[in-house]
Structure 1
Amino acid sequence: MNRAPSLPLSRPPSLSRWSVLALLGVFALTLGACSDATPIDEARALETGEEVTVEGHVSVQPGAFVSALGDEGFALQDDTGGIYVKLDPKQTFGLGAHVRVTGTLDEQNQLRILKAVAADVKVLSGTQLVSAKDVTTGGVNESVEGQLISVSGAITQAFVDDSPYGYKLYINDGTGEVQVFVHVSAGFDKAALQELTVGQRLRVVGLAAQYETTYEVAPRMPADLSVLP
């Protein structure tokens, strides 16, 4: 039986010099895209008016604070800090969305914000809910501003109606009183808030924010406020 003639072994085609350079260029661009975001704590410390790109997960859903802040923005948080992103129109993503934003640093009533436009907001892959950081009522200050926090304490003052912007409560765990600002747009039942009495203990999850010289906690939704035994 005749054996089939053996075929000569061929060398695989080699990449040209230009192909190698092109691949290296793509690799460099990929690395650049992964590393051009500034950590949020560093971004917050930059001068007002500077343009910066930050990346993180959504800690306050779009539009939750429109009644007082006047826009459909959201809050973003990474491992270093958090910041409120001010923009319109309302975005469609929710809590935990992985987002990259390029904008201009500014302040609104002394709250550090990032002003952006919708075209500069990019949704990335991966969703991760932000966990609230436990903070004492007296510890709500500049060091945690922009972050999702949790405070607990006894109500110290009666309900204050500040509509159409929001409602005010005050709690203290013994380390100092803090204002809880409940935005009308966050969906709370006003009557239920009015029924709360001085001395009742509350747990509040919300954005550590600032209005002029007052630091406050702003819950995002009714589930963020609970009465403790």
Structure 2
Amino acid sequence: MLSFFRGASRGAAAFLAISITAGPLFAAGDSIRFARDQAEGTVVTVQGVVSVPSGAFAPNDEGFAIQKGDSGIYIHDALGGSYALGQKVVVTGAVANSYGQVLGIQPTAIAVTGSHPVHPAKPIDTGDVGEGSEGTLVRIQGTVVDDVFDDGAYGYRFHVDDGSGEVTVFVYTGTGIDVSGVALGDEVEITGFSGQFLDHYEVNPRVASDIEEVSGCD
């Protein structure tokens, strides 16, 4: 499962110790899905297109996400690189969990191999954002059901419901997205990364255009 921990009040970011296996594992057909099925500590090589740029989820995490087809995964990058939407990359590193929840890869090597259009976000009901969509780009449309909550240095959150069940939208400070125009009762379309925080699922926008007014916004 993929989630993020924001600040001491919401759980300090920490990764469990991992044991590195000898030699990276790689599945040419769907390396990301293959990696997601491996045990923590397994060294894998994955390839995909950057779907979340480096630093978008700062200050919580400076990493990025990649996707290939309908499989995606987060790269907890501490190597100091910067990767942009649409870059094709090959990443080698260890599958890791934080607090037994954050599934991602701690990379030891990252190589840019070209460019490719970012995979389109999959339209999904708000109530269906969950394990099956984790790590990929999704698009939801519905009503904002509460006021935007200021989560300090980490960003802002609100909830959207299309009638199938509400889902959290968390906008990280690193995106630079202005949420001042979002209000209770607005009809919005949200594109973002399907993730998880503690016991609930989230959609995490990446750029300003990921939040669009459908109607009812001034």
Verify same fold: TM over 0.5: yes
Match for residue 104 of structure 2 among 109, 113, 119? 113
Structure 2 residue 54 is matched with structure 1 residue 62:
yes
Contact 1:40 1:83 in 2 (8 A): yes
Query: Does the Cα contact within 8 Å between 1:37 and 1:55 map onto a contact in 2?
Result: no
Deviations along 1:156-207, whole A, 9 cap, x unmatched? 1111111211100100000000000000111012xxx244221111111110
The equivalent residue for 2:94 is: 104
Q: CA deviation at 1:122?
A: 0.8
SS of residue matched to 2:177: coil
Match of 2:41 among 42, 45, 49: 49
1:172 equivalenced with 2:158 (yes/no)? no
How far is 1:221 from its partner? 1.2
Write the distance in 2 (CA, Å) between the matches of 1:108 and 1:224.
Answer: 27
Establish whether residue 155 from structure 1 lines up as the match of residue 150 from structure 2: no
Report if the CA contact (8 A) 1:39-1:80 is conserved: no
Query: Within 2, Cα distance between the matches of 1:164 and 1:215?
Result: 20
- Structure 1 residue 55, shift from structure 2 partner: 0.4
Moved over 6 A (4+): none
How far 1:126 moved relative to its partner?
A: 3.6
CA–CA distance in 2 between the matches of 1:125 and 1:67? Answer: 28
> How many angstroms does 1:96 deviate by?
0.9
In the alignment, the residues of structure 1 paired with residue 164 and residue 156 of structure 2 have an alpha-carbon distance, to the nearest angstrom, of 23
Compute the displacement of 1:220 (Å): 0.4
1:125 aligns with 2:114: yes
- How far the C-alpha of 1:209 sits from its partner, in A, is 0.5
Secondary structure at the aligned position of 1:142 is classed as coil
Seen in structure 2, the aligned counterparts of structure 1 residues 35 and 200 have a Cα distance that, compared at 3 Å, is closer
TM-score, normalised on structure 2? 0.81
Identity between Structure 1 and Structure 2 (%): 34
The 5-angstrom pairing of residues 185-224 of structure 1 reads 185-189=174-178, 193-224=179-210
User: Which SS does the other structure have where 2:60 is aligned?
Assistant: helix
Q: 1:152 to 1:115 in 2, by over 3 A?
A: same
For 1:116 and 1:220, how far apart are their aligned partners in 2? 21
Alpha-carbon separation, structure 2, partners of 1:204 and 1:134: 10
Structure 2 counterpart of 1:143: 132
Name the structure where helix makes up a greater proportion of residues. Answer: 1
Does residue 1:225 correspond to 2:211, yes or no? yes
- The C-alpha deviation readout for 1:82-138, integer Å capped at 9, x for no partner, is 000001244233111110001111123523111113xx1011134222211111100
Change (3 A) 1:168 1:35: closer
Distance 1:149 1:195 in 2: 22
The alignment of Structure 1 onto Structure 2 pairs a total of residues equal to 189
Letter in 2 for 1:178: V
Q: Give the structure 1 partner of residue 7 of structure 2.
A: none
User: What amino acid maps onto 1:101 in structure 2?
Assistant: V
